């Protein structure tokens, strides 16, 4: 009997690798070519030329082409090359999956990611540490934290060795799910494995404990970190670095910025209080995304920026404009684990069976805070 491995909701039979490298039906071959090589930096153009002139291209050349597209932000093209490779009858290896899964994360496509995951199981590559870590990252990027945790649990059962990079992803999943007990267990595994708690892992643990409501444990991790001076809790010190990376991306690596890239830059400048520069950046952009998406994005961004610099009049103005013009954003939600049971909440949500008690408690807390005149001191924005 074949053991069930990492693909959620699959059957034991589905994890059998095929006897011949036939094309999976889950990913049909795409007859269209990938994007023009001119969109890639010089090194990748040479690779594209070698790919077109080699017949038939060997597996490593397919892998390098998938990687080149993925690392240069051409995520959809990377997935397209992967599909064409399968259509040619080539059998992917662990390198293939570690290169194509980040592309599935980049396009925020859980369906594509699941299909690639299914292929990794069928070709026997899912138990590879780097593939498993890429799967965890892909699911987290697509907001599928439960599936990311499922993969980690399977890694544990199969004895797959994990590294600090894997742990960072798992801790992030615990934070998103509010899974405090699971997060503590992961932290214990890090300690027992004598892993160095570097800046990235330390920051993930601090964030996880804080989001799960355990401020004391969050503070303890911070105090015990050997290099805690490198952690930045403010956007202000990161603006220059963000500008450098944005310039490198566009000028040195020839990557065309997306709406998300530009939104990050505006958010970075705005939260540092550099509103004039943020406005100038918006004026200089050469993006033509969907008007609805564009407008919604900037309303939300400007509201957040005003809140960061404590311009509550600006926050109120933006929210009023959003309401008048029927601009909406995805409702915020949070999750917390109490007594081994996880509770999730949406903004203005009343689906919880004890919602009346919860809202009554919030109201009592608000009244108590107002009576003690702490709202003004803490600059809390409701």
Assigned CATH topology for domain 12-230 = 1.25.40
Picking from 94, 118, 100, the residue whose alpha carbon sits closest to that of residue 7 is 118
Contact call for residues 245 and 257 (beta carbons, < 8 A)? no
Distance CA 289, CA 298 (A): 12
Contact call for residues 294 and 259 (beta carbons, < 8 A)? yes
Distance CA 111, CA 104 (A): 9
Quick one: pLDDT at residue 122? 93
- Residue stretches of the chain with pLDDT short of 50: 1-37, 43, 229-236, 289-290, 292-293, 375, 377-382
Quick one: pLDDT at residue 234? 42
Contact call for residues 128 and 92 (beta carbons, < 8 A)? no
Quick one: pLDDT at residue 335? 66
Contact call for residues 210 and 220 (beta carbons, < 8 A)? no
Burial of 311 (C-beta count, 10 Å sphere; 0-12/13-18/19+)? middle
Measured CA to CA in angstroms, residue 16 lies from 12, 119, 209, 237, 255 at distances of 8, 10, 39, 51, 39
Question: What DSSP line would sit under 259-284, residue for residue?
Answer: HHHHHHHHHHHHHTT-HHHHHHHHHH
Task: State whether residue 374 is helix, strand or coil.
Answer: coil
Domain ranges (residues) in the chain: 12-230, 236-324, 350-378
Q: Where are the alpha helices (DSSP H) in 54-92?
A: 59-71, 75-87
């Amino acid at each position: 009997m074949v053991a069930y491995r990492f693909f959620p909701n699959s059957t034991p039979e589905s994890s059998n690798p095929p006897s011949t490298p036939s094309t999976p039906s889950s990913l049909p071959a795409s007859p269209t070519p990938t994007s023009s090589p001119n969109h890639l930096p010089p090194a990748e153009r040479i690779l594209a030329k070698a790919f077109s002139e080699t017949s038939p291209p060997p597996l490593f050349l397919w892998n390098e082409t998938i990687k080149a597209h993925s690392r240069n932000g051409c995520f959809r093209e990377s997935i397209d090359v992967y599909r064409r490779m399968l259509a040619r009858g080539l059998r992917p290896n662990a390198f293939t999956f570690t290169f194509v899964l980040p592309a599935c994360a980049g396009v925020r496509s859980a369906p594509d990611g699941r299909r690639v995951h299914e292929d990794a199981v069928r070709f026997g590559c899912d138990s590879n540490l780097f593939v498993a870590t890429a799967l965890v990252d892909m699911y987290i990027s697509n907001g599928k934290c439960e599936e990311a945790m499922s993969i980690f649990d399977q890694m544990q059962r199969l004895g797959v060795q994990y590294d600090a990079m894997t742990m960072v992803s798992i801790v992030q999943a615990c934070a998103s799910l509010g899974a405090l007990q699971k997060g503590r267990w992961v932290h214990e595994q890090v300690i027992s494995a004598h892993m160095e708690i570097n800046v990235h892992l330390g920051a993930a643990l601090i964030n996880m404990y804080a989001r799960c409501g355990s401020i004391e444990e969050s503070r303890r991790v911070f105090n015990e970190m050997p290099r805690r001076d490198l952690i930045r809790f403010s956007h202000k010190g990161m603006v220059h670095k963000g500008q450098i990376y944005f310039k490198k991306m566009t000028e040195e690596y020839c990557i065309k910025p997306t709406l998300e890239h530009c939104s990050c830059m505006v958010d970075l400048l705005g939260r540092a209080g550099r509103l004039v520069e943020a406005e100038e950046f918006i004026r200089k952009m050469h993006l033509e995304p969907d008007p609805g998406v564009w407008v919604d994005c900037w309303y939300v961004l400007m509201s957040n920026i005003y809140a960061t610099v404590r311009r509550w009049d600006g926050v109120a103005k933006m929210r009023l404009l959003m309401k008048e013009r029927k601009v909406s954003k995805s409702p915020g939600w949070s999750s917390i684990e109490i007594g081994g049971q996880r509770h999730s909440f949406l903004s203005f949500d009343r689906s919880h069976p004890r919602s009346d008690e919860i809202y009554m408690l919030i109201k009592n807390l608000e009244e108590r805070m107002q009576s003690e005149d702490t709202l003004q001191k803490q600059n809390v924005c409701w």
